[in-house]
């Protein structure tokens, strides 16, 4: 069995055009060292897959939860399509073994940047499935590997916004409104990593990293809730 065939078995789908799957696994950095590579990197597929994922999740929630307010559905959707969830999906499927990366990126394992590369690869794979086979196989993949986590999310209320929770509790318990400050920015513009600090008054409670300030703030709030035992 070829490498791509092993991945296809893990994904639960067989590609007509194997080049689409290979492109979905190709990080921009790989092309810097392999300019002859003919398929291109995965960012356009990621762009498409993000849109497919969003509409499939939205449709599922809209149809299956007719009495749920829009605000709750928005939070539920966010919990299914965020980078942490997609990274967990990629990790479960063993996608990392098949990524095409530069030598530098390949060495940089177990980092936030690698987690985001893996999360993005899931969106690219969804885009590739959509182009290769259409919307129904893409829906099947999303249902099997992403929507399947919804029951656990609802049961454990994992959809609640960490920033809102931290602010409500900190105001109630300590009478202080939390403030988020950007501590550091690093990396190229297309993949800039932000580190944000969560403060109560002058006290630094926690930090969080993300490829947007909003994402880093959410991570800091999650860490703050854990540190405070809230």
Can you list the domains of the chain with their CATH numbers?
3-155 (1.10.1520.10), 162-228 (3.30.160.20)
Q: What is the mean pLDDT of residues 77-97?
A: 93
**Secondary structure of 37-106 in the HEC alphabet?**
CCCCCCHHHHHHHHHHHHHHHHHHHHHHCCCCCHHHHHHHHHHHHCHHHHHHHHHHHCHHHHCECCHHHH
CA distance 69 to 62: 10
For residue 1, pLDDT beyond 60: no
DSSP result, 126-144? HHHHHHHH-HHHHHHHHHH
Condensed to tens digits (0 to 9), the pLDDT of residues 104-140 reads 888 877 777 888 899 999 999 999 999 999 999 999 9
For residue 150, pLDDT beyond 60: yes
Predicted confidence at residue 39, as pLDDT, reads 87
Respond yes or no: is residue 108 known to be catalytic.
Answer: no
Q: What is the mean pLDDT of residues 156-170?
A: 84
Helix (H) or strand (E) holding 182: strand 179-186
Q: Which residues does residue 26 pair with via DSSP β-bridges, in sequence order? A: 100
For residue 157, pLDDT beyond 80: no
* Structure-model confidence comparison of residues 221 and 75, the more confident one: 221
Q: Which residues does residue 204 pair with via DSSP β-bridges, in sequence order? A: 199
Q: What is the mean pLDDT of residues 19-29?
A: 95
**pLDDT band per the 50, 70, 90 thresholds, residue 155:** confident
Respond yes or no: is residue 50 known to be catalytic.
Answer: yes
CA distance 23 to 225: 39
Q: Looking at 50, 132, 209, 215, which residue is catalytic?
A: 50
CA distance 100 to 33: 11
Q: What is the mean pLDDT of residues 199-222?
A: 94
Q: Looking at 46, 105, 123, 209, which residue is catalytic?
A: 123
Predicted confidence at residue 51, as pLDDT, reads 97
Predicted confidence at residue 2, as pLDDT, reads 64
Predicted confidence at residue 21, as pLDDT, reads 97
């Amino acid at each position: 069995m070829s490498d791509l065939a092993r991945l296809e078995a893990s994904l639960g789908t067989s590609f007509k055009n194997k080049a689409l799957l290979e492109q979905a696994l190709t990080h921009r950095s790989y092309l810097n060292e392999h300019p002859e590579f003919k398929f291109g990197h995965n960012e356009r597929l990621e762009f498409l897959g993000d849109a497919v994922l969003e509409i499939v999740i939205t449709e599922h929630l809209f149809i299956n939860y007719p009495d749920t307010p829009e605000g709750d559905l928005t939070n539920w959707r966010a919990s299914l399509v965020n980078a942490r969830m997609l990274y967990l999906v990629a990790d479960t499927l063993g996608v990392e073994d098949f990524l095409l990366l530069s030598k530098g990126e390949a060495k940089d394992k177990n980092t936030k940047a690698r987690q985001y590369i893996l999360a993005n690869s899931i969106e690219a794979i969804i885009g590739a499935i959509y182009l290769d086979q259409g919307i129904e196989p893409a829906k099947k993949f999303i249902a099997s590997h992403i929507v399947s986590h919804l029951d656990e999310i609802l049961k454990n209320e994992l959809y609640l916004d960490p920033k809102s929770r931290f602010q409500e509790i900190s105001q109630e318990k300590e009478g202080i409104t939390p403030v988020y400050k950007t501590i550091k920015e690093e990396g190229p513009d297309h993949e800039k990593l932000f580190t944000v600090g969560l403060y109560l008054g002058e006290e630094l409670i926690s930090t969080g990293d993300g490829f947007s300030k909003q994402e880093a703030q959410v991570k800091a709030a999650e860490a703050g809730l854990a540190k405070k035992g809230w």
